[in-house]
Structure 1
Amino acid sequence: MSANLLTLSGVHTHIAAYHILHGVDLVVPRGQLTMLLGRNGAGKTTTLRTVMGLWQASAGRITLGDQDITRLSTPQIASLGVAYVPENMGIFADLTVKENMLLAARSAQRASQIDEARLQWIFKLFPAVEKFWNHPAGKLSGGQKQMLAVSRAIVEPRELLIVDEPSKGLAPAIINNMIEAFGQLKASGVTILLVEQNFNFAKRLGDRVAVMDNGQIVHAGAMKELAEDESLQQKLLGLAL
């Protein structure tokens, strides 16, 4: 079994006439939380969407474990145990929280068929999901919608969880709750790839970090090393902490 669950090798992505990714090399080790950082427009979201098959790589190779997934469709990739939470969360606003969860639980036709132990685990991670179970999802706050989006992604066991900017627009108290939840998810054995703009969020959670600029990975290593090197932060991210 490969030590890396996800590997991108020389991945290029074109969107219409635009060349967005320019040979991305990225590894996501099993059982760890990898942060993907970079300035706006660096190519982070495009990388996630390319991994999920929402946009097709024009060159290079993407592997999940030992399986080449470069040309697979999004449903095929999802069926291999990969869940994706996009930046816009993808919540069905007119459906209840329960109905949103049921749609994500592909093995269940009724809410009563969702794995009860797993559901109770999710309720402990995100109490708002239980509290607003029968409420329309569109009525939730931004933080509650983000909790629902992550809950849907993990309602069935996943090998890899990919999340785009989970802390965006959230209050500090909700961010702390999200950090605790992702920490528990990692401890349960889920491999996680997170795109983040909030560096404090990133350094509290990340095991590994990769930094993107102009469609390429320009730095990769331990999150702890980047968190302790302010000059490197300034060079890579323009941060002054």
Structure 2
Amino acid sequence: MKPLLELAGVHTHIGAYHILHGVDLVVPEGEVTMLLGRNGAGKSTTLRTIMGLWQASSGSVRFDGAAIGGPGNAQLPTPAIAQRGIAYVPESMGIFGDLTVAENLVLAARSAARVDALDKARLDWVFGLFPALKKFWLYPAGKLSGGQKQMLAIARAIVEPRKLLLIDEPSKGLAPSIIRNLVEAFNELKRQQVTILLVEQNFMLAKAVGDSVAVMDDGRVVHAGAMAELAADETLQQRLLGLALGAHQ
């Protein structure tokens, strides 16, 4: 697979803090790339740097063959990055609690100004992934359960076709049944050849959906390879992550 997203030597500073220390990362087109690592390793900062929410102080971010991030004029503003086909689901989910499920999806759809202007076939496909959203279509998003809010956050990212999804810890705090639903949804997105860069702490989910994996530590990528190879090597898991996937089945 050709790379859709490439980070080369990316450093990111937030105020006085040097968070990313030369990140090299390749995300192949049409695959799910897992971004793993201990808390504080720099995973969320990597996603925010890709989206231009924080600017790289050195290095480059290239998407679909073109520069979108880096110091100075190399940095595109976040709206321009989104318009190139990248959607970002933050750990906070970023939904609007006072608006209905329907209104949240309209806000995320660039081509629709009203609910009845949403692509019906696309919406039916989203409902197939997350049936609860159809049931609670007119409910305020703030009244949804945690799992339903996460479904809405991901639905906002895919209500229109995107080239790349950046998703930050979608399973955090969710019940196992909801996590299984997310696994099914991510596998369906894979079948649709959607490219995903997924930060996750749940190793069952990582093993179930990941094609490739990059492991971060102290602001650097310290391992990159096939997710299946990492899942099969408990010694490597212990060295990179401090625990074994077998304990999280």
Tell me which stretches of 4 or more aligned residues in structure 1 moved more than 2 Å.
none
Q: Over aligned residues, Cα RMSD in angstroms? A: 0.7
The 5 A counterparts of 1:43-82 are 43-70=42-69, 71-82=75-86
Structure 1: runs of 5+ lacking an equivalent: none
| 2:82 maps to 1:83 | no
> Which residue of the partner structure matches residue 238 of structure 1?
242
What's the offset of the Cα at 1:86? 0.1
Following TM superposition, by how much is the alpha carbon of 1:200 offset from its aligned partner in structure 2, in angstroms? 1.2
TM superposition shift of 1:35: 0.1
Deviation of the 1:84 alpha carbon? 0.3
After TM superposition, list the pairs within 5 Å mapping 1:31-180 onto structure 2: 31-70=30-69, 71-180=75-184
TM (norm. structure 1) is 0.99
- Give the TM-score, by structure 2 length: 0.95
Q: Which amino acid aligns with 2:219?
A: G
Once residues 224 and 212 of structure 1 are traced to their aligned partners in structure 2, the CA distance between those partners, rounded to angstroms, is 17
Secondary structure of the residue aligned to 1:69 is: strand
Q: Percent identity?
A: 70
How far off is 1:189 after superposition? Answer: 1.4
Q: How many residues align structurally?
A: 240
Partner of 2:28: 29
Q: Give 1:137 shift.
A: 0.2
**Cα distance, 1:168 vs structure 2:** 0.4
Shift of 1:20: 0.2
Contiguous gaps of at least 5 residues in structure 2:
70-74
Q: Which SS does the other structure have where 2:222 is aligned?
A: strand
1:95 Cα offset (Å): 0.4
CA offsets 1:58-81 (integer angstroms, 9 cap, x no match): 000000011100101110000000
CA distance in 2, matches of 1:105, 1:92: 14
Aligned amino acid, residue 110 of structure 1: R
Q: Distance in 1 between matches of 2:123 and 2:217?
A: 39
Q: Distance in 1 between matches of 2:33 and 2:22?
A: 19
Q: Distance in 1 between matches of 2:91 and 2:129?
A: 20
Q: Write the distance in 1 (CA, Å) between the matches of 2:109 and 2:68.
A: 23
Deviation per CA, 1:99-152, whole angstroms, max 9, x where unpaired?
000100111111111000000000000001111000000000000000000000
Whole-angstrom distance in 2 between the partners of 1:211 and 1:224: 14
Equivalent position amino acid for 1:49 in 2: R
CA distance in 2, matches of 1:129, 1:101: 10
Deviations 1:188-235 (A, max 9, x none): 111000000111110111000000000000000000000000000000
Secondary structure of the structure 2 residue equivalent to 1:219: strand
The Cα of 1:44 is off from its aligned counterpart by: 0.1
Match of 2:228 in 1: 224
User: CA separation in 1, counterparts of 2:205 and 2:161?
Assistant: 25
One-letter amino acid of the structure 2 residue matched with residue 99 of structure 1:
E
2 CA distance for matches of 1:49 and 1:186?
23
